[in-house]
Structure 1
């Protein structure tokens, strides 16, 4: 049956939509920065009661993958529904509109179809040029979207309490602030507390009209500077043990210099075990701090009686290393960088509290959100709707998820200005296969294969002795179909 709905001047045809998509819901779109799936609902020791509650309202995706493990390419890819290669974007320093001026973004598409679209916090990359965020996508100016993690100096009235971090003075600073900072300050002293407060205010402003509210939290991205009460949620010596060993037989090109945390390679000092433990502690504290801010926003949604008419989507822009593989931060193709948390909670979800092992990519969010809202498909998207999985968590929509990353890790900061090599990686249900290719010629420089059917999956590169040659060949074909070799 075709139902026609006139909405803000747009004539929509809704063909056999499921119950939870039959009417236009509001959208609360929440993004975390540098968050791997380190949440209680994913089996982590992380204290995340609010996101755990959200998972009970919706569907948790256990195998969700970003398209590149660094902020700008990942966010730009997800928000346009296009892969980084299609955008031609692999660096943090280039705005996607410099490359594709007229590309459609998810919030822009929602705005053009009758939604009030608002941005609070870091959604698009935090630009350091005159092009800040993406004003075309929003119906009002963005809030705290343009800042720098290294400028997140605590703002308090009166005297600033002392930094109780015991080792921070021996670590390099992150911009203007200590790498680790533990002060007894209110949540609003740092960016994310102010983001949550503004999101609550904006909800009160837009609650009586269809809205797409994007809330971008800055944590748990470094510096590790959550308020003290979140550090106090953890006993440092009871956090998971760090295994810093590199995967056996992994090629050197698979790694990077961890410059974001350790500084320029020529001046680097490897952290002591105590310093590494403190940074890991700070990462978990940042997760709990971010989770508390999520709770403030979802509580405001409930207060306004909007829970049953609002879809909530939560995701992380990419994963993160906190010393594993000898790496700090992101910019690799390893599972810890490529895999992200994703929770989708439609109003009155059919399978609330379910978990799915369906392979999904972040480019799939754009068509999924529009489908759930009864908004027409945007043209040219490269992702697929995840509606079949929301209707049946045992379903699958694709056979593989793809991630890529250049070498050097930040090619725009080099004299060459572009990559020397590109690592392209495919994740299937059972393995991860990666090829490192010369960026100019396409020649394969190195290969990696990790068997994910057992424990310790990415501690052994088994490319020279695969246990399942057929599975490797299938993955190789999938990878070459997505990233063809140059002739």
Structure 2
């Protein structure tokens, strides 16, 4: 065959050989998407430099993917965050600012991330918690997560055995928070074990068709329930509670919100702080184990080289930093969350990127990688350049917001700075220099030498 004919053949077959580089790829060669979400998971994992937290399976995924070291959610609470990254729209657009409103109520015709895939020939499934579901457990089990989005949608609950064990409410029952249970039974006596089991079954059933499989693990969200063996991995005397720096400035009260939770946290003894850490880490390792089961099945079924794997926490979490043991702040601990993406061809495997990115970008990124045409109006951008070269230049800020009653907090995170305004600055302003203050303990907003930087950041605090 002449060289000219070889060139013709190569042009014809290249789109089939390299589907990630073919925007118009046919559904038959489009990669699957395994989209894993952990609830309330902060960046304390082995692959993020915290070996004391046992996460060998998430670490394994990071070793074959790209770890985003500075990925930020747009609202650090479950429903607003998920509503944002599953629609590719900012919270101001979805108008979902708490856990009580479903995104379809405000945007009935919005095309969600899984819906985009469903409408393009993919089998789509929601297992566990993907969109935030409200109501009683019975109501959650009866309702479809979002009918337009899913071919299959399932929610789970613990068995009777899984609800027994040793535990307590650390507020003495005064609040419906800070509850833990070292449960009897095994993994599948808990919802997350059942989620992993069914994820494996669906991959076995759908392995010859393109799928978007969303696997939503509930832990380490409160109540901190996991089989007892995971608690045993973290002896109380091995845990070291966070110590606030002596030179910190006083936090604005609105920064964490105060209230009954803050009062309860202030009363924690050192032993109770260790107790809280143990149950949170137990939930983290329990989730990691379930992730491992799903990844093992992906490899056993020879789907790893056909599947884009995304792993995220829906937002971060405080474990005593700034006196807080929860989420819903615009501090780094709450706004930043894990994000790992592994491509079928192993591109950039084991690398990390320091780029400041938004979860909002997940939607356009997956559309770009799979060649599926995205809906108009997405407010994020594709992160494909960072996946192809994690060291590539990337100069885009990340935006996070919260609501405290009628008071709005808005924050912009750049490579060096975090700038936060409350009620357009009328209720307070915060400025943190991440070159010297990674924990955001020294608010330098009132220091005149930062006036020029303040003015610049004030001009971009709203996207």
Deviations for 1:354-388, whole angstroms, at most 9, x for unmatched residues? 00011110110000011111111321100000001
1:137 aligns with 2:149: yes
Residue 401 of structure 2: SS of its match in structure 1? strand
Who is 1:448 aligned against? 430
**1:345 and 1:352 in contact (8 A); partners too:** yes
Whole-angstrom CA distance in 2 between matches of 1:268 and 1:14? 48
User: Which of 429, 432, 437 is the equivalent residue of 2:418?
Assistant: 432
User: Which of 311, 321, 329 is the equivalent residue of 1:314?
Assistant: 311
* Aligned-residue offset at 1:349: 2.7
Whole-angstrom CA distance in 2 between matches of 1:169 and 1:91? 25
CA distance 1:476–1:170, shift in 2 (3 Å): closer
Superposed, 1:20-169 pairs within 5 Å as 23-44=29-50, 45-128=52-135, 132-140=144-152, 142-144=153-155, 155-156=160-161, 162-163=165-166, 165=167, 168=169
Further displaced range: 293-302 or 318-327: 318-327
**1:359 and 1:400 in contact (8 A); partners too:** yes
* Aligned-residue offset at 1:23: 4.7
Who is 2:214 aligned against? 214
Whole-angstrom CA distance in 1 between matches of 2:401 and 2:79? 13
* Aligned-residue offset at 1:225: 1.6
User: Which of 393, 398, 402 is the equivalent residue of 1:401?
Assistant: 398
Give the TM-score normalised by structure 1: 0.84
CA distance 1:450–1:387, shift in 2 (3 Å): same
* Aligned-residue offset at 1:87: 1.2
Deviations for 1:257-286, whole angstroms, at most 9, x for unmatched residues? 375xx49x7x88832221221011110110
**2:28 and 2:210 in contact (8 A); partners too:** no
**1:182 and 1:228 in contact (8 A); partners too:** yes
Superposed, 1:120-269 pairs within 5 Å as 120-128=127-135, 132-140=144-152, 142-144=153-155, 155-156=160-161, 162-163=165-166, 165=167, 168=169, 171-172=172-173, 179-243=179-243, 247-257=248-258, 262=261
* Aligned-residue offset at 1:398: 4.0
Q: Gaps (5+ residues) in structure 1?
A: 8-12, 146-151, 409-419, 483-487
1:270 aligns with 2:267: yes
**1:448 and 1:461 in contact (8 A); partners too:** yes
Whole-angstrom CA distance in 2 between matches of 1:375 and 1:284? 38
CA distance 1:155–1:383, shift in 2 (3 Å): same
* Aligned-residue offset at 1:37: 0.8
Aligned length: 444
**2:73 and 2:400 in contact (8 A); partners too:** yes
**1:367 and 1:378 in contact (8 A); partners too:** no
**1:258 and 1:328 in contact (8 A); partners too:** no
Give the TM-score normalised by structure 2: 0.88
Whole-angstrom CA distance in 2 between matches of 1:258 and 1:50? 37
Whole-angstrom CA distance in 1 between matches of 2:421 and 2:254? 10
Q: Gaps (5+ residues) in structure 2?
A: 1-9
Whole-angstrom CA distance in 1 between matches of 2:429 and 2:307? 44
Whole-angstrom CA distance in 2 between matches of 1:298 and 1:55? 12
* Aligned-residue offset at 1:170: 6.4
**1:386 and 1:397 in contact (8 A); partners too:** no
Please tell me the root mean square deviation across aligned C-alpha atoms, in Å: 3.1
